[in-house]
Chains A and B, each alone.
Chain A
């Protein structure tokens, strides 16, 4: 049985330290003179006291209990877990990028402004939009920004709209972002094709509708082929069309949201443009808009003038700021070098390979699992384990069983419109051999469901810990360590 990994707070000894600092090189004043006693910290500062070696061993041990894209296949649907090039890290780490202060005079950061400007040019061409802001720090932050832009646009026309439509298959961030901008959400049903139900859309559309939020391809991995008609319907009632860029990887270089009629687009640089996800972040969620929304963009924007690049602050209709500074610049550097190296043909090939990989896996796996929407998919597809469920094995169990085969599982229980959903996104950076091995694992699990379901429902069997009790965690939350748990 594997042992528990000690917490930082259980390591070390009083007086031990993990770092050295210089002695003061100037006359030192008594602390009380600079900081009156009543402004001083009263409680003890209980931080770990460990040596540098102990610290390195602790985090190295923790890293061995974790799984990243570098560890193996990570077909987490809607997350585009493609390989993260190492040159990206080297580029972003240079002191000329990493050690810049955001408030430096523009003339001392011309290279950084140029990088923003050049990346914007790439993203405008890829999306077909007219302007891009990099302030949003993640996809959901981009959605929030996009919805603020939409709100500002309608307000500027003295048009107070209250409703935002989002498909029943949409990411949870869509309704949550619309709600954070004060909109009421109406759910748009999907039809039997797994696409937007046009009849329902017509019924829901009226002059109260501020926008429709759409992912294309959608979260079933299916391209909304009626997109031009959808755009026309939404625009006819004065609404705007919002593009959730989570699934852009499928269509880069093949089609552009701007040409489909979208007014606002957010991208996820940590998905589509190969920057690492960092175990949950940092991401980057730039937002692109068509000309008619550009006056509302957050300040500042980068402009190119006669004497170099500069920050443009003077946007009287701007929604203001949505990040303390300019967003996750370090992530933008990584995405930029990826774009520069891929070029137009490379991006187009990447999208095509992502789609080919997904279709190849789908075609094979639909023999062992239910494929509720049997159409050509784009970069991802959604299986249902509803037949396995009848044998007492859920999608969640299947995900846990995959852990024993050394794979990260697909996204489970999403989208909500598929029962026992398993959402698979292989990406373009996986070989056919990896896909075959993954398919074999899922096929073997399907066989086990028939022959030995308990093996699956008790999985995983080989991971550092067994199944964890989530109910217990939520019932009596312990989110901060206060010493050993009292027996209960």
Chain B
């Protein structure tokens, strides 16, 4: 028997009736124009189909082979974060009027999504201090790459300067995107875990489209960025900041650093880590760059009776209208993840988000103090930390993580593959989801290890 019959409503009798209506004898005849050489004679070679019950059991068998974050406390960050998600987020984003809809092309029956995206755009603007935001991009890495491409378009320049303190995964994606366009990518070096701004003036020139920085940077450090925008702007370059949205409850906003474009990973706002996807790339910019923004944008308007309503707007930037001259090729985005972010931000409110950020700050500081007090574990960099910090280790990170796994702990990120110059080092992330008891258990597991 073929699988998935409960998804296929046509009965054999109906199939016969419909074939008769179109003047065909068999379903096979509907494929008559396919060259015989490419028609599959024996069908696909796939395992026999499973019923719903068997399939769920099979998926559960795969799932239990994984050690997940609700089972083992996890100290990984590096762009994907373990934050608490209130129940309302899953409950509301699970409503199928949202989740089973396509992109809201037909505005009159898509006001729910369109308004929620408009609210999301507004929330992103309020967090970052920017004036315009889009409906989402794939993830923090691609939104930074899109910002670089948009900067080259806006300035008509072909070079991008990125700090080595920017997430190495992001820099890899940036490299792929820019190389394809034959745009140049140069790296601003590190000094004690922060961008070496003394080199900035020397490396910026009249071909530089943008300066790409991360705040807090990859090592969790809040960089001293006072005056950086002014230097970039003096050379005609845009300042692009990739930020952690949770940090913005307490930390100076990108607007307050005079950034032109703000990108980042929004997964932390109400989306589970999900093994790195789906994530949520957010993208916000100054008003003057509105028409350079890639992807969907929702705008407010009125209906024929004067009532407020929302539509996809500025679509002449997009691929379905502009084709090869579009600002980006993006079509599907991460709409449902953006909805989750909006519900999350509204559920937390200003006080809740400040509490989450405060708990991250306090708990990460507590863990950092305890860990770096251990023999052989040294704080890698001085400076102001948010929820992540780098530690020099007495042995390799890979080995340490194996040791921690035996203690039912998922350790931090082994930094050696990305920053070999640091020697054995690990990036720890501590959020509000870690209790003091768990942090103490981590410290005990580290104690005496070498």
Q: Which of B3-11, B188-196, B206-214, B229-237 contacts A (4 or more CB under 8 A)?
A: B3-11
A144 touches B329 (CB 8 A): yes
Q: Which of A196-204, A340-348, A442-450 contacts B (4 or more CB under 8 A)?
A: A340-348
A480 touches B106 (CB 8 A): no
B80 touches A102 (CB 8 A): yes
With the chains together, A285 CA to B68 CA distance in Å?
26
With the chains together, A388 CA to B99 CA distance in Å?
34
Which residues on the A side are within 8 Å of B103 (C-beta)? 277, 279-280
Q: Which of A42-50, A233-241, A287-295 contacts B (4 or more CB under 8 A)?
A: A42-50
**Is B33 engaged at the interface, CB distance under 8 Å to the other chain?**
yes
Cβ-neighbour of B38 out of A179, A260, A276 (below 8 A): A260
A140 touches B47 (CB 8 A): no
Min CB–CB distance A463 → chain B (angstroms): 4
With the chains together, A363 CA to B363 CA distance in Å?
67
Min CB–CB distance A443 → chain B (angstroms): 15
A348 touches B43 (CB 8 A): yes
**Is B199 engaged at the interface, CB distance under 8 Å to the other chain?**
no
Least CB separation from B24: chain A residue = A359
**Is A84 engaged at the interface, CB distance under 8 Å to the other chain?**
yes
Instruction: Find residues 230-285 in chain A having any chain B CB closer than 8 Å to their own CB.
Output: 251, 253-256, 259-260, 270, 274, 276-283, 285
A22 touches B432 (CB 8 A): yes
Q: Which of B167-175, B372-380, B442-450 contacts A (4 or more CB under 8 A)?
A: B167-175
A43 touches B253 (CB 8 A): yes
Instruction: Find residues 243-288 in chain B having any chain A CB closer than 8 Å to their own CB.
Output: 248-253, 255-256, 265, 272-279
B59 touches A91 (CB 8 A): yes
Which residues on the A side are within 8 Å of B94 (C-beta)? 89
- Given A95-B70, A103-B76, A321-B141, A282 and B112 touching (CB < 8 A)? no
Which residues on the A side are within 8 Å of B347 (C-beta)? 18-19, 50, 52, 55
Instruction: Find residues 127-173 in chain B having any chain A CB closer than 8 Å to their own CB.
Output: 127, 129, 131-133, 135-136, 138-142, 149, 167, 169-170, 172-173
Which residues on the B side are within 8 Å of A50 (C-beta)? 346-347, 349
A55 touches B346 (CB 8 A): yes
**Is B384 engaged at the interface, CB distance under 8 Å to the other chain?**
yes
Least CB separation from B5: chain A residue = A346
B38 touches A324 (CB 8 A): no
With the chains together, A349 CA to B349 CA distance in Å?
49
B98 touches A278 (CB 8 A): yes
**Is A392 engaged at the interface, CB distance under 8 Å to the other chain?**
no
Interface string of B278-307 (1 = CB under 8 A from A): 110000000000100000111111111101
**Is A143 engaged at the interface, CB distance under 8 Å to the other chain?**
yes
**Is A156 engaged at the interface, CB distance under 8 Å to the other chain?**
no
Min CB–CB distance B197 → chain A (angstroms): 15
Cβ-neighbour of B313 out of A70, A375, A470 (below 8 A): A470
With the chains together, A259 CA to B298 CA distance in Å?
42
Interface string of A50-93 (1 = CB under 8 A from B): 10100110111011111111110010100101111101011101
Instruction: Find residues 1-49 in chain A having any chain B CB closer than 8 Å to their own CB.
Output: 1-2, 4-5, 7-9, 12, 16-19, 21-22, 24-29, 31, 34-36, 38-49
With the chains together, A47 CA to B128 CA distance in Å?
12
**Is A191 engaged at the interface, CB distance under 8 Å to the other chain?**
no
Min CB–CB distance B132 → chain A (angstroms): 5
**Is B122 engaged at the interface, CB distance under 8 Å to the other chain?**
yes
Cβ-neighbour of B299 out of A62, A283, A474 (below 8 A): A474
B45 touches A344 (CB 8 A): yes
Which residues on the B side are within 8 Å of A115 (C-beta)? 62
- Given A277-B103, A468-B311, A139 and B331 touching (CB < 8 A)? yes
Instruction: Find residues 329-382 in chain A having any chain B CB closer than 8 Å to their own CB.
Output: 329-331, 333, 336-350, 352-353, 355-357, 359-360, 362-364, 375-376, 378
- Given A48-B349, A343-B46, A69 and B2 touching (CB < 8 A)? no
Which residues on the B side are within 8 Å of A227 (C-beta)? 35, 38
Instruction: Find residues 313-361 in chain B having any chain A CB closer than 8 Å to their own CB.
Output: 313-316, 318-326, 328-337, 339, 342-343, 345-356, 358-359, 361
Which residues on the A side are within 8 Å of B79 (C-beta)? 324-325
Interface string of B52-64 (1 = CB under 8 A from A): 1001101111111
Which residues on the B side are within 8 Å of A34 (C-beta)? 361-362, 365, 384-385
A65 touches B111 (CB 8 A): yes
Instruction: Find residues 124-149 in chain A having any chain B CB closer than 8 Å to their own CB.
Output: 125-126, 137-141, 143-144, 147-148
**Is B49 engaged at the interface, CB distance under 8 Å to the other chain?**
yes
Instruction: Find residues 364-419 in chain B having any chain A CB closer than 8 Å to their own CB.
Output: 365-366, 384-385, 398, 401-402, 405, 410, 413
Min CB–CB distance B255 → chain A (angstroms): 7
Cβ-neighbour of A181 out of B136, B181, B330 (below 8 A): B181
**Is A486 engaged at the interface, CB distance under 8 Å to the other chain?**
no
Which residues on the A side are within 8 Å of B52 (C-beta)? 87, 341
**Is A105 engaged at the interface, CB distance under 8 Å to the other chain?**
yes
B273 touches A480 (CB 8 A): no
A324 touches B140 (CB 8 A): yes
B305 touches A279 (CB 8 A): no
Which residues on the B side are within 8 Å of A467 (C-beta)? 108, 303-304
Min CB–CB distance B109 → chain A (angstroms): 4
Which residues on the A side are within 8 Å of B249 (C-beta)? 41, 45
Min CB–CB distance B349 → chain A (angstroms): 5
With the chains together, A418 CA to B191 CA distance in Å?
60
**Is A310 engaged at the interface, CB distance under 8 Å to the other chain?**
no
Least CB separation from B301: chain A residue = A473
A270 touches B332 (CB 8 A): yes
B324 touches A185 (CB 8 A): yes
Cβ-neighbour of A321 out of B65, B176, B303, B352 (below 8 A): B176
Which residues on the B side are within 8 Å of A355 (C-beta)? 27, 30-31
Least CB separation from B123: chain A residue = A47
Given contacts A18-B88, A181-B180, A259-B38, 16 further A-B contacts (CB under 8 A): A18-B349, A22-B359, A62-B111, A63-B112, A68-B96, A97-B66, A125-B45, A172-B326, A254-B31, A329-B276, A341-B51, A341-B55, A353-B10, A360-B22, A414-B320, A480-B121
What are 19 A-to-B residue pairs whose CB atoms are below 8 Å?
A43-B129, A43-B253, A47-B126, A93-B90, A108-B66, A111-B64, A115-B62, A137-B334, A141-B142, A147-B180, A175-B323, A225-B33, A225-B34, A280-B104, A341-B4, A357-B18, A378-B30, A468-B301, A479-B133
